[in-house]
Each structure stands twice: as structure tokens, then as C-alpha cells.
Amino acid sequence: MSQMDDINSYLDDNFDAFVDHLRQWLEIPSVSTLPEHRADVAAAAAWAAGRLRDIGFPQVEVVATPGHPLVMASWMIDEAQPTLLVYGHYDVQPVDPVDLWLSPPFAGTLRDGNIYGRGASDDKGQIVLVMAALQAWAKVAGQPPINVKMVLEGEEEAGGESLAAYLPNHLERLRADAVLICDTHMVNDLQPSLITSLRGIVCAELAVFGARSDLHSGSYGGIAPNPLHALCLLLSRLKGEDGRINIAPLAEHIPTPSEAERQLWRDDSLGIASGLLAGMGVAESVGENDYPLLERIGIRPTLEVHGIVGGFTGAGSKTVIPAEAVAKISMRLPSELDPQQVFTWLEEAAQTLMPRGYRLEVRCLHSGRGMSANPDHPAVHLAAQSVEAVFGRPPVFLREGGSIPIAALFSELMAAPVVLLGFGLPDDEVHAPNEKFSLQQFRQGMKTVAHYLGRLRREENFSPAMPPPV
Amino acid sequence: MSQMDDINSYLDDNFDAFVDHLRQWLEIPSVSTLPEHRADVAAAAAWAAGRLRDIGFPQVEVVATPGHPLVMASWMIDEAQPTLLVYGHYDVQPVDPVDLWLSPPFAGTLRDGNIYGRGASDDKGQIVLVMAALQAWAKVAGQPPINVKMVLEGEEEAGGESLAAYLPNHLERLRADAVLICDTHMVNDLQPSLITSLRGIVCAELAVFGARSDLHSGSYGGIAPNPLHALCLLLSRLKGEDGRINIAPLAEHIPTPSEAERQLWRDDSLGIASGLLAGMGVAESVGENDYPLLERIGIRPTLEVHGIVGGFTGAGSKTVIPAEAVAKISMRLPSELDPQQVFTWLEEAAQTLMPRGYRLEVRCLHSGRGMSANPDHPAVHLAAQSVEAVFGRPPVFLREGGSIPIAALFSELMAAPVVLLGFGLPDDEVHAPNEKFSLQQFRQGMKTVAHYLGRLRREENFSPAMPPPV
């Protein structure tokens, strides 16, 4: 039996323990955007550090930051071997509306071959599968086959400022030959995929001010500025029913996809578009319907409104005209665009499109660049081979609609390829009620990562095209 | 010294006690729209019943309803005398945003010649001044000069359904020669006014449904239905920046004001419009700026959005595309229009204007007719004379922008004139943080109502044009 067979057996034999690890972590409600969960976020960091020590990492540290802590670990086995930096995030999205969850969001409930809980797929489950792969190597071979560093942050869902600030000042500590991020999803449970680009993101608030105080619609309705209505006018102008974003310089800067990519989007031989429609539970998409769905997800910019704050939103009615109202919006951007630049375009367009009689403040909550990975790099190739070895078919290379700003920073600052190898599924309900992770994906993910670690080992299968270790 | 002088002296001598009564009542948080305040609403009703018994009303009853209770009282002194029915409401609006209050909303704090608290002006303060006038008559003359009935409801801010259902079945019990409602405001502290019309109201929800569950904007942004954006499109179509409401049949049914009324609105010799702008703290109004402000407040229909529910509205950002979103809106309507009819027009227009790819539900939360009072009726004339006797100048007759649906029902069902004699001021912050009532208005109000009770007495000043008592 080969070493890889031993490792796979170890992963199968101990699978229930790994599920239990994930369940323990899911029980810690590490919601990074809500101040009341600060201690929980810290507890989730401590849990991760404990696990990494248990696996055998000789160096594990919880690093305090102005925000939530970083969990840093490294296991250097041999300077002649390449170093893989594994990135993940242990913070999770808020869970509201909580009454739509079929089981408690912070419980890790097993049902129908899945584990349910906030963070199951995004991203705790995908970190735990990497931990499992490392534990298998440690138990079977005494150590990982290559040098491994890990950095886990607690602010991915809250802008990721602390790691973004830490990274440029600690490049030596984090230096690696490749960065592995397991925080994306596959096309479906049969068809694995590797992500070649991530969209950038800007999260912003449009704050509109009208009268000096809230007003009664009986006394002032029909003559008063109504910031809620002004936001409706503004948002309908920034993006129409046709989905076109009315920010002139943006339209001029959308990159032109290659003909091959266009072909892929048009043909959609994997039926990804119909999977997306099924995921939404709708018969037709909304927005720029003159573009293929995959083009819209992959390269078109988006502008979405996520919430409107102001006035009365309780039960019943209150005929108040609020003095101010705020829209929370985000824009997803093709990886080629600079989000800070786009924010200034947004601000200018919003001020221009704003109805008369109001004051508008456009605030940047956070932003992050997109990134693209070269599919020809050996670190990406070897990942594709590992996927094929476990899943039985080669992965497709896709542009991903989501944003992992830190991936762009790694790519930019570390001059290392970022391998986006995700095991989520499109119906994981990431960011929504009833988030889950397929146990089958969890198992295959462990085996794929364990395989990848072995492939990266220099004297065995390491591609000669891979640059020498740092 | 005349009896009226004695009554005025009694009111002055006991003024602090009346302020204390109001303070006691303001301390009871009788918010009718919030289920958690149900017991408080009942306590506010019990407090009123106790006060009416203390004053000397021989019949006082708290009547249970499917909603909040009614407080009913009557003091019949002489069948030959006319009967005045006094209506008021002891429930109040919610107090959020509570952090904008300078003193606790449920405290009755004295500051700068005002009493601050939710309900100070709308409507507890204006009921307590009627109670004070009745107490003065009871102490000075042993009883009121005419027959008095009172009905106080606890659902005015929540649709008023229970009284509206009770009224048609208890017309005999409530029958009166005139109805007095003190729940409006004067032009300013020098210029009293009587209201000749109230706008009708429809409160509705526009509920928009998109995908089957909340979605992540990274995975689905740009292709998913976004109910928040759809609401923005819909609301911007229902009413544009020019303030025109895009409901075709509505435009055809707006009544034509008389040339005299137009003249009054154009001239605005009392400077009411600039008072409204000052009240809003803005340099110019928003909306149908080709109509005078007073016309827009008095007779033009309005459509205002009061809140938008859905998505993420907490601190920070969450890039969720919600599966559904709800806009809470109201329409104020000229008294001539039937709100139920207008609701069907609204529903039709909204369905027509709705963007593709969504399901829209238009729900009527509640509605109430407007009303108009004939200024030539003696019950209105005598009120004007009483105002002039106390304030030193005759009141102006105005159309009021607000809605008191029950006034329309009284007017319709009881064939009695409804006298809208209000002592609030435009800066009372009704429905907003820091609601207050001027103590000077409180005092003058008592004296005016006491005077009016005396004037209504048949053998003295009662106008021969007043129909015989019922």
C-alpha cells in the first residue's frame, strides 16, 4: 500500500472525528461584524490555534490586531522543500433572518448528508478539511511532506483590514511558494473547478439627509424631503431595470474577454447557468439579459443594494418621514479594475444623479481588489492533477463572481500564485439561512488537499517548471 | 365676577395640578402598534377613566374591544340642553429613534415653557385640557353647562378599527349635537385656526418576492432578482422627483378647489408656508413645486414611503440579496376621495409599474376617510367665537393635511358637525422625537374649551340656527 493509500485510509477511519471538530467550531458564533460577538470571534481563533497545536504544528500563535486576531502557524520540515501558505477565515456572516433556519445556526446539525451551520461552507468547513489532511500526514508520515504555513483571519466578512495591514509588514514571515485558499465552490458535486479570477469589491453607504428632524406625513407629506424616496430615485438611476450601471467611466473600463472565454460562456456545456437559476429558484434571471449569465457573473460589474436603513420598519404602520436614510450597497468588479478608483466614480455619479433638495454622503465601508491566477503555473497544474486524482475528472477553470480581497493582496505582495481550490457547492446557502457543507465534499476535499501536499513535494512529482523554494 | 371669570380663575389656580395630571398620563407608554405595550395601553385607559370619575362624570366605563379598550363617559344634565360628544385618543406613536430624545419619551419633562413626552400634543395633552375645563365647570357650577359625552380610543395611531366597528352599532349611546375633537394644531401661538377638512389616508405595504432564499451577491449578484432594487424602481415610478403620483385615475379625481381657496393658498398672508419650511429646517420644499405649499398640504394627494424592510441593516456590511423586501407607504387623500377606492387604484398601478421577474403583493394595512366641516354651522361658529374670546383674534379656517379617520366616520354616521379645535403648534414634533406641548397653549386651550361649553348652553348664547337637541 502506498503512503497516499494510508493517508486516505486514515482520513476515512477518522472521518467522524473531523466532523466533530467542525461541529465544535460551528458552535462558536464568530460573527465578525457584530460587536456583541467579539468574544466569540476570539474564542473561534483560540479553538483553531488549539487544533493546529494538536495536529503537531511546532509554531502556533494568536496575533492580536486592532480588529480580530490572526491565527498564525508554521511547520517547516526542510529548506529544500517548497512552502505552501494556507489561508482561511474563521469568522462568519450574521445569521439573520434567524427564524428561517431549520436548525440552530450555531449548532452543526447533521441532516441529509450535510452539516448545517453558519460557516459550514464559508469557511470553517473548508479549513477543517485542510487541518484533517495535515493531521493525516502527521499521523502517517510524522510530518507534512512540504513546509506549511497557515494564516487564519477573523475579519474576512468585515473587510479584512487587520490582515491587509499586517501582510505588507510581515512578508518574510508569510513568504511561500504558493498560497492555497479553500473558500470557493465547485460547479456541482461531480464537476470540480479551479478559480482563475475573483471579482473585486466595494462596499459603500449612500446616506441621504432631508429635513432637520423626522416629520409627520400628515403635516408635511407632499412638501417634505423624504430621504427614503430620494434613495429609491437615486438607486433606480444608478442601475435601471435593464441592469445597466449608470456610472459612465465604469462602462469604459470593463475588460474585453477573450473569444475563447466568450465561447465558454455562450456554450455553457456544463449547464452552469441553469444550475444558477435553480439555485435561485427562478425561471429567468434579472438584469443585463443581453449577456450570458456566466459573463455577468464572471466579468460584468454589479451594483446591488443590501439594505435600506431609516424610518419605521416595525410591525404595523408609522407615518413618519425620516430626516435621514442610508442604503447599503456593494459593487463587484472585474479583477482588472481598482476598487478605490471605482468608488470615486460611484461617488461622482451618485452626487450627479441625486434628486434636488437633499444632501448625500457616499461612504466607503471597505474595498478589495479582485485577482487572477495563471492556469499555466505549476502550483495550479498540480492542484488540477490532485483534483482529477480524487474526483476522477479534471477541473474546469472558471472566473468566480465572489470576492476574496486578501487573495488579491497575496497575489500582489507575495509574488506567489494563489490557488483557489474550493469544495463548496452552489446550493450551500453561503451568507443565507441554512448554510451547509456536504459531508461527501468534506471527505473528498480532505483527500484532495492531502494529495496536493504530496504532489508539491519536490523530489517526487514536483513540476520542473516550479521555481526553486524561497 | 361672572361665572366665566370664576372658571378661568379656577383653571389658573389649579394649573399645576393639571400639568401633573398630564405628566402622570405621559408616563404610561401607551404605544398602540407595539404588542409589548398592550398592558400599558390598558393602563392609560384606566387612568383616563379614573380621572373622569374624579371630575364627577356619573357614568364612566372602560369598554373592551377586540383591540384596545374604549373609555366611554357621559354627564347628562338636562334633556333640553344640547349634547357635545368629545372624542380623543389616549394611544401614542412609537418613540424610535429613542436616542434622539433629549429627555425620556415617557416622562413628561418641563423645559422652556413646554412639557416634553410622547403624546404631549398628540393627543393626551389636548384631552387633559378638556378634562380641566370640565373639572372647572364641575367645581364652580357643580356640573357642566350642557350634556357631555366622551369617547376616548386607544387605536388612533394603529388604524382605529375597534371604534370604527363599535360606532355604527352604538349610535344611540354616542348621539350628540356636535362632536368636539382637540387633536390638531394652530397656525402659530398667536393665530388660532379651525380645521374645515382632514385628508383621508391609506397605509399599505408593497411586498416584493424574488429568489427562493437570500443569496450571496458574489455568487448571484448581477443575475439575481433583488427585491430591494425592485422596490426602488417601483417607488420611483409610482412617484417621480417632480412629486407627481403616477396613478392615472387618482389624477382625474382630485377635487377642484374654489377660487377663494386658491387665492388664500397663493397669498398665504399668514406666512404659513414659511413656517412649514422653518419646521422642516429646509430652504425649499420637495415635490410638486408648481403648486403652492398650502394647496399641496390641503388638497393634493401624497404618497410617502415610511420604511423599507429587508436585507441587512445592522452595523457594517453584509452582501446579501434578500429573497423579499417590503416597503411601508401611506397616501393622504383629499376628503372627497374614498380611500378604499384609491387603494385599488394603487394596487393596479403598482402591479403595472412593477419590474419583470418579481411577485408583488400590495397589502392594505388600514385606511380612513377624510372629512370636511361646514364653517357656517352654529357649532363651528360658536367655537370660533370662543377662540376669539380667549386668544383675542378670530381663527382662520384651514384644510389640514393630517388624517383623523374617526372624524369622517362621526361626520358620516352621526349627522352631527365635527368641530376640529386644536391647540397644538407646528413645532410640536408630533410623531417625531422630542414631542412637546406648549404650557401656554395648554392653559389657553382649557379656557377656550370651558368658554365653548358655556356658549353652547341653549338659553344663553346658543345660536338660534342650531338645531334642537337630540
Task: List the single best residue of A91, A118, A183, A317 to mutate versus B (max B Cβ within 10 A).
Answer: A317
Residue of A nearest to B320 (CA): A306
CATH 3.30.70.360 positions along chain A are 207-254+301-368
Task: List the single best residue of A100, A305, A365 to mutate versus B (max B Cβ within 10 A).
Answer: A305
A128-179 tens-digit pLDDT: 999 999 999 999 999 999 999 999 999 999 988 999 999 999 999 999 999 9
Mean pLDDT over residues A56-68, rounded? 97
Distance (Å) from the alpha carbon of B376 to chain A's nearest alpha carbon: 25
CATH 3.40.630.10 positions along chain B are 3-198+370-456
Question: What are the grid coordinates assigned to B256, written together?
Answer: 377642484
- B38 in contact with A at a CB cutoff of 8 Å? no
- Is the complex ipTM more than 0.85? no
CATH 3.30.70.360 positions along chain B are 201-254+301-367
B295-315 tens-digit pLDDT: 998 889 999 999 999 999 998
Q: What is the pLDDT of residue A459?
A: 62
Pick from A93, A159, A218: CB nearest B403: A218
| CATH placement of domain A207-254+301-368 | 3.30.70.360
Q: What is the pLDDT of residue A464?
A: 41
Distance (Å) from the alpha carbon of A339 to chain B's nearest alpha carbon: 15
Mean pLDDT over residues B315-337, rounded? 93
Calpha distance B238→B79 (Å, rounded) = 54
Residue B319, SS3 per DSSP: coil
pLDDT class for B468, splitting at 50, 70, 90? very low
Distance (Å) from the alpha carbon of B120 to chain A's nearest alpha carbon: 15
| Sequential DSSP letters for A216-277 | EHHHHTTTS--HHHHHHHHHHHHB-TT--B--HHHHHTPPPPPHHHHHHHHH-TT-HHHHHH
Residue B84's DSSP bridge partners are B148, B178
Pick from A236, A302, A306: CB nearest B232: A236
A420-445 tens-digit pLDDT: 999 999 889 998 999 999 999 999 99
CB contact under 8 A, B217 and A284: no
> CB atoms < 10 A from the CB of A329, how many?
30
Pick from B124-138, B299-313, B388-402: least confident = B388-402
Residue of A nearest to B277 (CA): A224
Residue A320's DSSP bridge partners are A216
| Helices B339-353/B227-238 angle, 10° precision | 120
Question: What are the grid coordinates assigned to B230, written together?
Answer: 425592485
Q: What is the pLDDT of residue A374?
A: 83
Q: Look at residues B328, B268, B338, B278 and name the one whose alpha carbon lies nearest to residue B298.
A: B268
Calpha distance B146→B160 (Å, rounded) = 28
Distance (Å) from the alpha carbon of A260 to chain B's nearest alpha carbon: 22
Count CB pairs under 8 A between chains A and B. 355
Mark A203-213 as b/e (b = at least 16 C-beta within 10 Å).
bbbbbbbbbeb
pTM of the model: 0.77
Q: What is the pLDDT of residue A469?
A: 44
- β-pairing verdict for B178-181 and B83-89: parallel
Calculate what percentage of chain A has a pLDDT beyond 70: 97
Which of B24 and B275 is assigned the larger pLDDT? B24
| CATH placement of domain B201-254+301-367 | 3.30.70.360
A362-397 tens-digit pLDDT: 999 989 888 888 888 899 999 999 999 999 999 988
- Tell me what the pLDDT averaged over chain B comes to: 93
Pick from A225, A284, A312: CB nearest B286: A225
Mean pLDDT over residues B384-399, rounded? 93
pLDDT class for A57, splitting at 50, 70, 90? very high
pLDDT class for B29, splitting at 50, 70, 90? very high
Written out in words, the top-level CATH class of the domain with range B3-198+370-456 is alpha beta
CA distance readout (Å), A44 to A39, A65, A93, A438, A464: 9, 15, 14, 22, 40
CB-CB contact of B453 with B84 (8 Å): yes
